[in-house]
Amino acid sequence: MKPQIIEGNIHSDQRGDLRYNNAFDATEVKRIYIIENKDTSLIRGWQGHKIEQRWFSALAGNFEIKLIKIDDWQNPSQELKPYVFLLDSNNLKVLHIPAGYVSSIKALDDNSKLLVMADYKIGEIQDEYRYDINHFKN
């Protein structure tokens, strides 16, 4: 399965804005948290999950999200190519990250906030993998 964007939308009228995503099914979500990078020079990566899937949505600002499908969890190839996604807070767009991917997260604006949703609770499984930010050449 490949990562995909689930499109959100916005409705504006005299009362203000309503951001929504009627296509996103949150049935599998068991845990949520928010990531705020210290500044726009920081890149959080590479971290991911062999079993767990996640969903990202920008609540404030803009993010560049890179995802890599891992070929060997013990020794992944350095030549793997990333999928690159831009998430903004203009609508409630959701990026689905299937199991088997690692991510890098870069805020493009100060004070950006990224909502992260996961299908496992903390401690429910042992499924966290981390690689040096410079491991992948692309």
pLDDT tens-digit profile of 107-127? 999 999 999 999 999 999 999
**Tell me: the pLDDT tens digits for 54-99?**
999 999 999 999 999 999 999 999 999 999 999 999 999 999 999 9
The model's pTM is 0.94
**138: pLDDT confidence band, cut at 50, 70 and 90?**
confident
- pLDDT score at 84: 98
Cα 75 to the center of its chain, rounded Å? 23
| Spatial CA neighbour of 35 closest among 95, 75, 124, 99 | 95
Residue 102's pLDDT is what? Answer: 98
Torsion angle of C-alpha atoms 16, 19, 22, 24, degrees rounded to 10: -170
Structure tokens at 97: 């990250």
